[in-house]
Every structure is written in structure tokens, then in C-alpha cells.
Structure 1
């Protein structure tokens, strides 16, 4: 079946038309040809842009004509597919493919006097913005950030002055709005030079609030943000929703590690024993699971409440608590001091390493601080892994 995707998927229909994919062959058809083949009096507002077997992106409601061509109007309300997709992305599934096409969009019934809001083409960011604009008429200029959110893209250089100027020119924004100003998220300020944007495009940059939910008040307040709108938060909920991704990232390495653990657990007086590999492997697997749970979930969620500014040390503290609980509950399956030390060191090291990985997800760290911490703790973690492995093999003899 042939399929047409609206601008939100494959590109603007205004000049080259919608993109048709037929068994891997891309054909281009003009919008005029598509419209003329539809009924003169369509029964629904999308009929001018659809034919049997063709479909627009679910978040595109219709198209409006402007001096720069047709612009897709997006829906402010998130549909079931948006919510399910958001859940998958939160779990790290297809995270780097969750994008919308860069370009200009409309929401509500914008005219030449309406504001232009800039955002990234990471669909989760795009959805956060549009759902907060239910009662607002505006233009949304989406930059190509390679599917990365505004803050990270600004740091990586994709949410940039160059990309913003390019999108302003490509969308012929000067022909769509009478004013010469655009609103950029505050978290994108590190990548956008207001002076250079003004010089290269003629548009003045206004830095908006951090959170999309504050935009309606920001616009009503003559585009002025109060102190609260300028502050980055990282509360319990914001930390909690990041943990599924952290856990998903570690799943594949964890499976490989578990396999290695079962193999190591089989070494003993008889060189290798499958029964020992199973019995001792299960115990070591629980030590691995405790370390993952502590480092990738508990430490991020309880981040402000665990002592120390260093994430690796936070992971050691929380990991030690869970390692001790593990040893207590599995006393009957653990034999000797060497077993205890091996399991304790292994679990705590895993927790420390995974907790340190969380440094790139928080507003509490700096690149130089992260680099310094890694140089200090990674050698220690490697030594602990070697010692715990040696003790685990030694304890079998």
C-alpha cells in the first residue's frame, strides 16, 4: 500500500509536494495534482490532502495557505499513538528515531502578528510544546537537532545559530510574519547567539522560559519571564522518569556480564562444573541485579538525599546498603569470607559505575567536573572488579 506522510514526517509539501514511498521507490507528486484528484466537496477537512491508501501524520490537522506556501497546522491535543510512543521513548525504545521534520508549523489560527516559537525536532520536546499551546495561535519553527532535545542539542552544536538562521530563510519567515522577532527556549541559549541571528537574518531573539508550560503566562506577561521561569529544577518526578532509559541502556551489557559470571562461577577443583556454574552463578547474578538497581534507579531517584557531591561515591553508599541486604538474605547460599567480599565488591562497583553514568543527565554537574570524577574513580572500579573476580574464583577451591 502506498503511503503519504505529511510535513511532520518527510518534509514540506509547499514546493515539492508530499513524499510518496512505493516499494522503496520515492516518487514526488505536486499538491495541486493530489488536490485535484479529490472530491470537489470533501466530507472532511483532510480530504483535500488525502487519497485512498495515503495518510498524514496523526499530529497534523490540516494545511493553511500563506505567502510562503502551505504550512501544516498541528493538533495541540496528544493522541493515543503520541502517548504510547512517548512511553516507549521514555523506556529507551527507538529513542533516536523519535523525530519530526524540521521546518515551520502552525498551531491554532495564526496570522502575521502571531509569535514564532523555536524548538527542537525531538518529538518528545515537540509534543511538550504543542500540548501547552491549546489556546494560543502561534507559529512553531522546528530546528534539525538530529532528534536531540533543546538543552543537549545546544551543547552538541545542533541547536545553533547557523541552523536557526537556515530555518528562518528556508521557511521564508519574513513573508509569513510582519514582526521581526522569534522566541527561543532559554535552555537553547548556549547554542544561539542573538547578535549573530539578528545580523544574519534580521530577526531579534527573545529568550523564553525554561519550561513549555510557562509559555502562555510568558506571552501574556509581555514576553517577560519571572525568576521561577528561569530556574532549572530536578525534582523527584523529573529524576524518576529518567531511570527507565538508564536501565534500558545497561540491559545488553548486563546480559553479557551475567553470562561471564556464570562461566566464572563454574571454575573450581574439577576445573569446570556445570552444577557450580548454576548454583554460584545465580548468587552472582543477584549481586549484579542489586548493583544495577542501586546505581541506575535508587541513586538517581534519591540523588539529593544521598551524601557526597560525587556521583560515584553516591553509588558506593547506596550500593553498600543493597549489597549488605543481599548478603543477609542469601546467607545460606554464601560460603566463607571470600564469597562475601567478592559479592560485596562486585555489587558496589556496579552501583558506583552506573551512578556515575547519571552525571550527564542532571543539571548538577559540569563537563570538567565529570571528567575529573571519571579519572579518579574508573581506575578504582577496575581494580575492585579484578579483586572481586579473583576472590570469587578463589572461594570455589
Structure 2
């Protein structure tokens, strides 16, 4: 990407509303946790199209997926995009962490000398960044007025063209089944390392004669992981209860019962003792993974998550420990 320099000190980076194959591949990789923590663009001022001094200024984060989500909605549109250094974190999370905040915005305005680029004094910030920015301090120290745009990038053009007036729909945060589904790959990938450790332990136990742990055990565990990481987030609003841990445990419990009815009860390798062991182990596995999704959800609050963890984690540990004991005892009977 070539840089355009308006003066010796003002650096403006060109960008386009068209995403390349590399952009699409990069987003897919980030969804699966590949290079996720380094998927970012350089903070600074970008020009999209051919903006003049009257063109709107849109403020966003330097997480590349966020930056791409904004620019791809601005086809045939002229605008300035001011990218803050959020350490590669999206707007919503960065606002909570403080990196999409008042200090960074003021510093970035000074660095790019925006008042020498545009003739107006208006900044359009994403609504989900409002918690991190003190609008009156921005105006007091920089002279720029903050206007909060819509929740979704797809509405930004309509918002600007309507005189920066947002409809109720533009202000509403939705979290549809699709929105939840696209977040599950990173949740699933995060289980790989611990799952490999568990499989390694089971393999060693088989070698020393404790077991056997076979294919049925494998798919029972994998099913519990998929339920906690994927199925629970997708079905979130329709599962009874409020706590994420409970929702995951509930589906995990159903999974164990279904497995017992479909095969364990008629298999010579499985006793009631082993079934009880899995009843104590697998639902907490699903519960723990479902609880991890609280960090990706708009349904929770920080205090609520802390309260849930305080109750759920000790219960999970005790349940899994008791289940493991039952399964080991069953191996020696």
C-alpha cells in the first residue's frame, strides 16, 4: 500500500471499499484463531475514495476485521477513516478495555493533524465505542464534536445521508443465531490444546491397563465439547435458564442421557458406575465451554459473569473429580 503525504508531517494512507481475496482469507483465519492477536492495521488517517475537506470522518479500531467491515460498506463513497490504536481489538471490547478511549482519540487527532485536513469539526464514532469515550472532553480539548453512528457498519451510509439521524433499528444491538455462530470457531479452537492433553492421558491409562477408553468415550467427549462451544451459543435464547454454565450443563446432561439410551446401556464395556461417572464429567465440560462464551456475548454483564463463575467453577471441579473417581473405580472392578 502506497502512502500519500499531504505535507511533511501529515501522512494519509489510501484504502478501498473492495476487499481482496487476501482480506477474506485473513478474516477466515482470524475466525479460527490463526494470527488472531496480530490481525490489525496501522493506526492513523485513511482516505477512502476522493474525500475533500468537507468529507465525513469515521473513527474505528485497528482490528483489521473491524476496519474491513466498515470500509466494505462504503462503496462509491468518499470519507476519511481515523483508525485508533486499540492493540488489534475490536471497538466494543477495546472500549471496555480503555484502548478505544478519550486519551487515544485525542492523541490520534493530534498525530494526524486532522484539523489541517478537514474544514469541519465533526467525528462519527461507532455506537459500541461510546462507553470508552468522553464526548465533552473530546470537544473541550480538540474542538471536535462527537456524533455516535449506528451499531452496524452496513447502516453508516444511510445514517450520513439522512443528516446523521439514526432510526431505532440502527440503535438496536442484535445478537442473532448467525452472529453467534460466526463466533464459535474461535471457541472451538481454544479447546484443542486441552483436548489433546486429555486424549494423551487416556492413551497412557490404556497402556497401563486402566480402561479401556475407546471410540465411544471419544465421541462422547467430542460431543460434549461441540455442545458447549457451538450448540449452546447458537441455541442460547431458547435454552431454559439465564446462566451460561447452566445452559451448557443442561444440553450436556441431555447428551449423556441420549448416549446411555442409544448404546451404553446395551454395551458390555459400560456399567451403571461408568455411566454415572460420565454424567458427572461431561455436562460440566459443556458448561465450562458455554460459560467461556460470556466474553463474546451481549447478554451478560461483568458483575453477572463474576457471580456465575464464583458459583459454577467450584461445582464443575467437584463434579468432574467425583466422575473421574467413579470411572477409575469402575476400571478396577
TM-score category of the 2 structures, normalised to the smaller one: over 0.9
| CA distance in 2 between partners of 1:148 and 1:161 (Å) | 16
Residue number in structure 2 paired with 1:138 = 79
Give the drift of 1:349. Answer: 1.1
Give the drift of 1:328. Answer: 3.4
1:265–1:327 distance in 2 versus 1, CA, 3 Å? farther
1:264–1:381 distance in 2 versus 1, CA, 3 Å? farther
Give the drift of 1:338. Answer: 0.7
| CA distance in 2 between partners of 1:193 and 1:323 (Å) | 50
| CA distance in 2 between partners of 1:366 and 1:71 (Å) | 38
Residue number in structure 2 paired with 1:308 = 241
Residue number in structure 2 paired with 1:128 = 69
**Could you say which structure has the greater relative contact order, defined with CA pairs below 8 angstroms and 6 or more residues apart?**
2
Q: How does 1:250-269 map to 2 (within 5 A)?
A: 250-264=191-205
Asked if the contact 1:287–1:346 (Cα under 8 Å) also holds between the matched residues in 2, the reply is no
Q: How does 1:96-175 map to 2 (within 5 A)?
A: 96-175=37-116
| CA distance in 2 between partners of 1:329 and 1:106 (Å) | 60
TM-score (norm 2): 0.95
1:379 aligns with 2:314: yes
The one of 64, 77, 85 equivalent to 2:26 is 85
Asked if the contact 1:261–1:281 (Cα under 8 Å) also holds between the matched residues in 2, the reply is no
Asked if the contact 2:10–2:113 (Cα under 8 Å) also holds between the matched residues in 1, the reply is no
Give the drift of 1:327. Answer: 2.5
Alignment deviations for residues 195-249 of structure 1 (CA, whole Å, 9 cap, x no partner): 1111111111111111100000000110111111111100011010001010011
Give the drift of 1:326. Answer: 2.4
| CA distance in 1 between partners of 2:227 and 2:238 (Å) | 14
Give the drift of 1:396. Answer: 1.0
Give the drift of 1:321. Answer: 1.6
Give the drift of 1:281. Answer: 4.7
Q: How does 1:1-397 map to 2 (within 5 A)?
A: 56=1, 63=4, 65=6, 69-264=10-205, 272-273=208-209, 277=211, 279-331=212-264, 332=267, 334-397=269-332
- Alignment: residue pair count: 330
1:333–1:91 distance in 2 versus 1, CA, 3 Å? farther
Aligned residue for 2:188, secondary structure, equals: helix
| CA distance in 1 between partners of 2:257 and 2:222 (Å) | 14
Asked if the contact 1:73–1:107 (Cα under 8 Å) also holds between the matched residues in 2, the reply is yes
Structure 2 stretches of 5 or more lacking a match? none
Question: Which protein has the bigger helix share?
Answer: 2
Structure 1 stretches of 5 or more lacking a match? 1-55, 267-271
Alignment deviations for residues 2-21 of structure 1 (CA, whole Å, 9 cap, x no partner): xxxxxxxxxxxxxxxxxxxx
Between 358-367 and 68-77, the greater mean CA deviation after superposition? 68-77
TM-score (norm 1): 0.80
Residue number in structure 2 paired with 1:43 = none
Aligned residue for 2:260, secondary structure, equals: helix
> Larger Cα Rg: Structure 1 or Structure 2?
1
Aligned residue for 1:142, secondary structure, equals: strand
Asked if the contact 1:198–1:205 (Cα under 8 Å) also holds between the matched residues in 2, the reply is yes
